[in-house]
Amino acid sequence: MDIQGKLVMLLPLQSGTSAKGEWKKQDAILETAEQYPKKVCISFWGDKADELKIVKEGSMLKVHVNIESREFNGKWYTDVRAWKLEPGDSAGQSQTPIDKPFSDEPADLSPSNDVVDDLPF
């Protein structure tokens, strides 16, 4: 599943040691770009947590996630875990390169031999 939105907040990096060795985790809050935006807390584990170091708050992201729920002592817990992070599309901003600046020189408006004009007028 993919979630696209704006990075609202990076929570502090958490780390520790378990029976399997060292671990690290960082949570990020993403706000979706819908008519009614929702905030989603996404967990980045291991090397994925390192990828968040280059991302700034306010940037648009596309995050590929796995969603899983687990039961513990009669309560259910849901985990949204990222497995891929990509820069996202900026809503309302053009993805085209910046145009050349205006020039004082007149543009060449003479017809080109390569252009086929099929308009009746």
The full length of the chain comes to: 121
* pTM metric for this prediction: 0.69
Q: Which residue has the higher pLDDT, 53 or 42?
A: 42
Average pLDDT value over all residues in the chain: 82
Q: Which residue has the higher pLDDT, 10 or 98?
A: 10
Task: Give me the mean pLDDT over the 53-65 stretch.
Answer: 92
Q: What is the CATH number of domain 2-87?
A: 2.40.50.140
pLDDT at residue number 11 = 95
pLDDT at residue number 103 = 46
CA dihedral 58, 62, 66, 68 (to 10 degrees): 40
Place of tokens 């706000």: 31
Return the minimum-mean-pLDDT range out of 87-91, 97-101, 103-107. Answer: 97-101
